[in-house]
Amino acid sequence: MRIALAQMELSAEPQENLGAAKDVIVRAADAGADLVVFPEATMKAFNTGRLDTVAEPLDGPFATAVRAAAADAGVTVVLGMFRPADVVERDGKELQRVHNTLLATGPDVDAHYDKIRLFDAFGFRESDTVAPGSELVVIDVPVGGGEVRRTVRVGLATCFDIRFPEQFVELAQRGAEVIVLPASWNDGPGKVRQWETLVSARAMDSTCFIAAVDAARPGGPAKAGKPEGPVGVGHSILASPDGEVVAQAGFAPQLLIADIDLDEVPRLRKTIPVLEIRK
C-alpha cells in the first residue's frame, strides 16, 4: 500500500486550502498513492477566526469538491473539515459549535468521523466551539488494481485522540490494519518529542501502521518551539506496527509518499500478540 502524507501549511481561507489540497491529490495520484491523508482543520486553520462561519454540511460545496477531486484522481482521501453541530451557552453567550470532522472519500469510500476527544488542555477549550463525536469509524480502502486489488481496513482518529490508547486498540479490534491521524499539533517546549513518542506508542498499542499527518509549522524552523495555538509543528510520521518510523517530515510543507508492507501487520501481531493477550 502506498500512502501520501500531505503536510500542508494551512490558511484562514477555505478556498485557498481547497485549491492546495486538490493540487496535492493530483500529485499523490500521479505518484501511485492509494491513500492521501491531510491534516486536521484542512478547511480552515485553527486560530484564524470563527469556525462556525465556514462550517458546511457533508453535501456542501467544500466536501463535494473534495469528493470530486478524489474520484477524478482515483484515490482515497482523508481530510479535516468543519460542519455545523449545536448551540451551547458559555459565559452568558450562545455559541454555535461545529463538529471537527474527517471526510473520507474516494472509489467505493464515503464516510466521516467526528473527533471524539476534544482539546481541553494547555489553556485551550476546544469543547467551547466544537461538539464531540461519539462513534469510532473504520473504512475499507481499495488498494492496487487488476488481479491484485484488495481492500485495507483503515481506522480514523484526530489529533488529541492520540493521548487515549484505548481508542486505537478498539480500532484495531474492529479490524484496522492502518490508522490515520490528521492533526494540528500545538507548538511549545517538548511538543515535537511528545508527538513522536505518542505516535510510536499508539502504533505499538494497536499493532497498526499509523499515518500521522500534522499541519506544517507556520514560519518553519525559525518559529519552532515557541508556545502557540493548535497550528501544527509538522513532523508528520508514518510508523510501523512495532513503533519504528517508516518515514518522517520536518517543519516545512511536504508531500511525503511511502510504501508499507501490510503483511507486517499479521506477522507482528503473531510476534507481539498484545491484542490477543488483552482479551
| b/e code 52-66 from CB counts within 10 Å (16+ = b) | bebbbebeeebbebb
Catalytic choice (22, 44, 115, 191): 115
What is the DSSP code string of 103-166?
Answer: EEEETTEEEEEE--S----TT--GGGTEE------EEEEEES-GGG-EEEEEEE--GGGGG-HH
Cβ-contact 120, 55 below 8 angstroms: no
Active site residue 208: no
Residue 202's contacts (CB-CB under 8 Å, 6 or more residues apart) are: 162, 165, 168, 179, 181, 210
Catalytic choice (44, 159, 177, 228): 159
Catalytic choice (9, 40, 56, 126): 40
Cβ-contact 104, 78 below 8 angstroms: yes
**How far is residue 63's CA from residue 54's CA, in Å, rounded to a whole number?**
12
**How far is residue 276's CA from residue 152's CA, in Å, rounded to a whole number?**
20
**How far is residue 146's CA from residue 144's CA, in Å, rounded to a whole number?**
7
**How far is residue 149's CA from residue 167's CA, in Å, rounded to a whole number?**
29
Q: What is the dihedral angle through the alpha carbons of 3, 8, 255, 159, rounded to the nearest 10 degrees? A: -30
Active site residue 94: no
**Which has the closest alpha carbon to 217: 255, 185, 246, 171?**
185
Active site residue 16: no
Active site residues: 40, 115, 159
